[in-house]
Amino acid sequence: MGARVVVLDYGFGNVRSAVRALERVGADVTLTADRTAAQEADGLVVPGVGAFAACMAGLKAVRGHEVVGRRLAGNRPVLGICVGMQVMFDAGVEHGERAEGIGEWPGVVERLDAPVVPHMGWSPVEAPEGSTLFEGIADERFYFVHSYAAQTFTKGYDENALGTFRPPRVTWAEHGGRFVAAVEDGPLSATQFHPEKSGDAGSHLLDNWLRSLA
C-alpha cells in the first residue's frame, strides 16, 4: 500500500488529473473535503486554479486553511500546486483588489511583469542544492499556466535566526522577471507549475514528494 494522500476537493483545482498523477506514482489517493481525512492522511495536496480570492473563499468554505495550519503545526506534509501554492503567502493582488492568504510565508502574489501574460508552457527552473523535490530532475522543464506569482521570498533569511533553523529551499523560474517556482519549507512544499501536467519530470517530482512522506 502506498502513502495515503488526500487531494483537497474544495471546488478550485485540476483535481482529477492530480489524483491520476499521484496514483500513477503509487499513492493511495482520496479526493475529499472531509477535514478528518485531510488531517489524518500521510500527505495533503492543495490544488488551485483561477483567481486567488476565489480559491481562498473556497478553502475557507471547507475550513481547508485550518486543516493546513493544523497539519503544519504537527509537522505533517502539505503540497500546494499553482494557486494552491500562491495562497500560502500573506496575500494576493488581482485587478487592484487585495485578498488575504493563509499567511504561512511573507509576501504578496502579484501579476507577472512580462510582455506576454499568462505565462503558458514549458520552462526550466533553477533549483537549489539539496532539493528533495527536484532530486534527479533539476535540469528538466515543467509546465506553467499562470498570470500571477510571488516575485520575492524573504522567509528564512534572518541573520539572527537560531543556528538549528534550516531556511526554506526556493526554486526560481523566469518570465519577464524572476518568480518563485517552488518552495520546500519543512513539511510545506509547493510548486507554481503543474507537476500533473509536466510529463515524466512531473511524475518524478511527485514521486520524490511521496518518498519524503515515509
Which residues are catalytically annotated? 82, 194, 196
Q: What share of the chain is helix, strand, coil (3-state, %, to 5)?
A: 25, 35, 40
User: Beta 188-191 vs 119-124: how paired, if at all?
Assistant: unpaired
Q: Three cell numbers at 165?
A: 533553523
Q: Containing H/E element for 59?
A: helix 52-61
CA pair distance 120, 175, nearest whole angstrom: 10
CA pair distance 114, 179, nearest whole angstrom: 11
CA pair distance 133, 131, nearest whole angstrom: 6
User: Beta 119-124 vs 43-46: how paired, if at all?
Assistant: unpaired
CA pair distance 80, 10, nearest whole angstrom: 13
- CB neighbour list of residue 194: distance below 8 Å, 6 or more residues apart: 14, 81, 82, 142, 143, 144, 145, 202
